[in-house]
Copies of this chain bind each other. A is one copy, B any other.
Amino acid sequence: MKGSEGLLSTARSAGVEVCFANPGTTEMPLVEAFDTIPGIRTVLGLSEGVVTGAADGYARMTGVPAMTLLHLGPGLANGIANLHNARRARTPLLNVVGEHASWHQHADPPLASDIESLARPVSGWVGRTSSPASASADFVEAWRAARTGQLPATLIAASDHMWAQGGVTAEIPAAEPVPAVDAQQVSAVAKALSADKRPALLMGGSALTAEGLRTAARIAHDHGGEVFAEGSPARLERGPDIPGVRSLPYFPEARQKTLDDFSDLVLVGTSRPVSFFGYPGMPSMPIPSTMRVHTLATPEQDPLDGLQQLAEISGSAATKLPATEPKQVRPPEGALGASAVAAAIVLSQPESAIVVNEGVSSSAAYPKLASAAPAHTELTLTGGAIGIGIPMATGAALACPDRPVIDFQADGSALYTLQGLWTQARENLDVTTVVCANRRYRILESELARSGVEQPGAAATGMTSLDGPAPDWTALAAGFGVSAVRATTGQELLDALRQAHSEPGPHLVEAVLTE
């Protein structure tokens, strides 16, 4: 068989069921092979930001590496921003990037560029095929690297290695277990918390599953502490039967103030919190000066194991948590602001939804109300590279066809990768996109205000506003085949969301924010 066929049959044996793709000429041998080696569904994105963002959403929901197919350096480059988010989310991904025929590269054809240099900043592993047969072994190495390192891996596949005969099917070795937490590490934390402490447990990775949140809540309850989610978690479970979790605030002074109430910070599957940006006079890692920091599990270790061990040592394994009063959310009325949108989403949310949260400034109210919603999974913008919401919702919907997906979406971010709406239409995915149309980069207005610019000048206003003209989201969605309506009041938004959830296929609701 051809090198391309060997690579795809290896991918199939690894369990790859979907490949997110935007191929070009150098990838044609692989494109052909998807028909001769069937079993992998190909999903086209109209630009590579859609491809990589969808792969991230897919892998976050399935837990196994997602595969992409990209066209040379420029194709990879278009997907880098969302690969950056995937790297920060610790998402396993496997990018196959086509490359010129090995003997053609010396000629420096127009589309040639240094693919490794582009790939390295967003990849835990970068490699290159050296023959049709090697391609499969290279795929296995990339797969292992992605799975073990929980990072994107990038395999550069020369087109002659793909089109020539000599391909083989390689075996995928069994997954290596996630490193457990050392018992001494656990006792050190237990000992530190044994005195009269008030710990904050800061959770990331799989600590934010239902099991992790329950165990952490028991420990926190017994120590008079509280459970927090890291700044932008890759994935977080919420529901009536899952103890709630507070989010660490975005701005460093609010973050520090929040932590002032606690004596110790216990890191569970995450690192010491870092300020999103550096501000004059603020430290990079803003925590109270008297706070002691302990690591129960690093991001590379199994936080569930660490929590379980700690609960047993500290006698919290069987702690019965007090019942919590379900939050009451009132239907929003009148003009729309961020709180009204969050309330409308919560009140209309179907069972077992996946909520993609790229609301930026507009979705700040959501985590506070989300405990009133039925059980759901939240996926967030981990790396700050905006434009992941529509793609990630697309990938999550492909991973979980039985679960409704809601994309709580800032308009500025949505404009980066609105092309993903077309893939939602083409694949007939059950995604409801709520575009919070404040028609500005509001987060940047806040940043200007923080730096003392209360009345931005014409240039600054022009670069932070999205009007003149305001994008018409109902037209844009229709242009990509997605049914859309506009809502300007709380009641209209609630009605539109309920209607969208009651119908199959993708929908978009433009929520025009005036507050």
A80-B77 in contact (CB<8A): yes
Q: Which residues of B contact A36 (CB under 8 A)?
A: 457
Distance between A131 CB and nearest chain B CB, rounded to angstroms:
15
A425-B74 in contact (CB<8A): no
Any B CB within 8 A of the CB of A263: no
Any B CB within 8 A of the CB of A235: no
Q: Which residues of B contact A101 (CB under 8 A)?
A: 277-279
Any B CB within 8 A of the CB of A32: yes
Seed contacts A28-B444, A110-B384; 17 additional CB < 8 Å A-B pairs: A25-B447, A28-B447, A31-B460, A31-B464, A36-B457, A38-B459, A49-B78, A84-B111, A103-B284, A107-B274, A107-B278, A113-B121, A117-B121, A426-B468, A469-B481, A471-B481, A475-B476
A34-B416 in contact (CB<8A): no
A385-B111 in contact (CB<8A): yes
Any B CB within 8 A of the CB of A160: yes
Q: Which residues of B contact A280 (CB under 8 A)?
A: 160, 163
Q: Which residues of B contact A167 (CB under 8 A)?
A: none
* Interface CB pairs A-B, < 8 A, 18: A24-B444, A34-B459, A34-B460, A35-B456, A44-B462, A46-B466, A73-B84, A74-B383, A78-B78, A80-B118, A107-B274, A109-B284, A110-B383, A159-B277, A163-B451, A472-B478, A472-B480, A478-B479
Any B CB within 8 A of the CB of A463: yes
What is the bound-complex CA distance between A90 and B275, given in angstroms? 40
Any B CB within 8 A of the CB of A169: no
A416-B385 in contact (CB<8A): no
Nearest residue, chain B, Cβ from A472: B479
The interface size of chain A toward B, counting residues with CB under 8 Å, comes to 100
What is the bound-complex CA distance between A265 and B345, given in angstroms? 67
What is the bound-complex CA distance between A466 and B47, given in angstroms? 12
What is the bound-complex CA distance between A159 and B115, given in angstroms? 28
Contact of A275 among B78, B109, B463, B464 (CB under 8 A): B109
Distance between A257 CB and nearest chain B CB, rounded to angstroms:
19
What is the bound-complex CA distance between A106 and B275, given in angstroms? 12
Q: Which residues of B contact A75 (CB under 8 A)?
A: 81
Q: Which residues of B contact A117 (CB under 8 A)?
A: 117-118, 120-121
Q: Mark A374-413, 1 if CB is under 8 A from B, else 0.
A: 0000000011110100000000000000000000000010
B159-A278 in contact (CB<8A): yes
A278-B103 in contact (CB<8A): yes
A451-B29 in contact (CB<8A): yes
Any B CB within 8 A of the CB of A473: yes
Contact of A276 among B42, B109, B473, B475 (CB under 8 A): B109
Q: Which residues of B contact A104 (CB under 8 A)?
A: 275, 277-278, 284
Q: Which residues of B contact A279 (CB under 8 A)?
A: 101
A84-B88 in contact (CB<8A): no
A47-B387 in contact (CB<8A): yes
What is the bound-complex CA distance between A505 and B443, given in angstroms? 31
Any B CB within 8 A of the CB of A231: yes
Q: Which residues of B contact A81 (CB under 8 A)?
A: 74-75, 77-78
Distance between A283 CB and nearest chain B CB, rounded to angstroms:
9
Nearest residue, chain B, Cβ from A49: B78
